Amino acid sequence: MHNFLDFEKPLSKLEAKIEDLRHLSDDGTVNIADEVAKLQAKSDKLLKQLYSKLTPWQKVQVARHPDRPHFTDYISGLVEDFTPLAGDRAFAEDRAIIGGLGRFRGRTAMIIGHEKGMDTNTRMEHNFGMARPEGYRKAIRLMKTADHFGLPVLTLVDTPGAYPGVGAEERGQAEAIAASIETCLALKVPLISVVIGEGGSGGAIALAAANKVLMLENAVYSVISPEGCASILWRSGDQVQAAAEAMKLTAQDLLELGVVDEVIPEPVGAAHRFPGSVISALGDAVEGVLDELMELDPAALCRQRHEKFLTMGAAEAK
């Protein structure tokens, strides 16, 4: 059984009935197989209807779904011989960001990403994907290592934002994020970023100032959470849906605005229902982009990355 979101409640009732029927013994009075087939068809139709018209706020909920594939799932499905590299060589190891070397589709690469955790214990271990300064400084160290050895860098973004605690601020959270963005922009090797769930504020762009930025269909990417936006602009959490609508945080909106370069489709029902197919689709998309970028020389890669971000939001003279 899945963890159902609020807007999926009608679906949860149908799937509960299907599950109950499957556990009944067939006494001959009712053809259980036929009943299950009918309910399954109804469930599939309802699922398609629900996911064909998701609102921005519903997409935020899907992006945050606890069963959505995490960084470690993509590593397991796409990367061979992954070797994690720990520590920022200055203060500590931060588990909200994981990074290391591995072989992606036959190429050695540096893979870095946010990890939220799968259950209560691992979420605490990974601080719910909210990195402290040492996490970004570790990412900087790993990106510079990749640059030194001429290895492409792949980052997977999934964070509500950088950790806002007092200790993090004391150790230079803003400076660490800025330095990470600067490092991204200066790399002489291909850098590809994929927003796989939440892309929250500077905590996300610190790993996503890339040559190509991809997003999964039901991921979100924004400067602040809808809850934070509603509390600032409306002084009320009741306006969270209006905030999500106004913020243009969906993959489709951001593709239209030129903030991201490609949207990776998810099956009907989203990544949390079909993790294997989504992981494979992400791998195919990244491989195609990487093939293109590997043809560019270091100067062209830097220039393309700079031009990409400098032209965002530029107004045309009339």
Q: For the chain, give every domain's residue range.
A: 6-53, 60-310
Whether the pLDDT of residue 117 is over 80: the answer is yes
Q: Alpha helices, DSSP H only, in 52-132?
A: 56-63, 71-78, 120-125
Nearest one of 12, 7, 14 to 55, comparing CA atoms:
7
Q: What pLDDT, in 10s, does the model give residues 4-56?
A: 888 888 888 888 777 777 766 555 555 677 777 888 788 888 889 889 889 99
Which segment of 24-38, 85-99, 237-251, 302-316 scores lowest on mean pLDDT? Answer: 24-38
In CATH terms, the fold of domain 60-310 is 2-enoyl-CoA Hydratase; Chain A, domain 1 (3.90.226)
- The predicted pLDDT at position 165 comes to 94
**Residue with the larger pLDDT of the pair 42 and 301:** 301
Which segment of 44-48, 144-148, 214-218 scores lowest on mean pLDDT? Answer: 44-48
DSSP state of 238: G
Nearest one of 301, 314, 99 to 207, comparing CA atoms:
99
- Residue 45 makes CB contacts below 8 A (sequence gap 6+) with none
Nearest one of 88, 112, 220 to 161, comparing CA atoms:
220
**What is the C-alpha separation between 235 and 237, in angstroms, rounded?**
7
Q: Is 318 exposed, middle or buried (0-12, 13-18, 19+ CB in 10 A)?
A: exposed
Q: What pLDDT, in 10s, does the model give residues 42-91?
A: 888 888 988 988 999 999 999 999 999 999 999 999 999 999 999 999 99
Provide the whole-model pTM: 0.90
Whether the pLDDT of residue 266 is over 60: the answer is yes
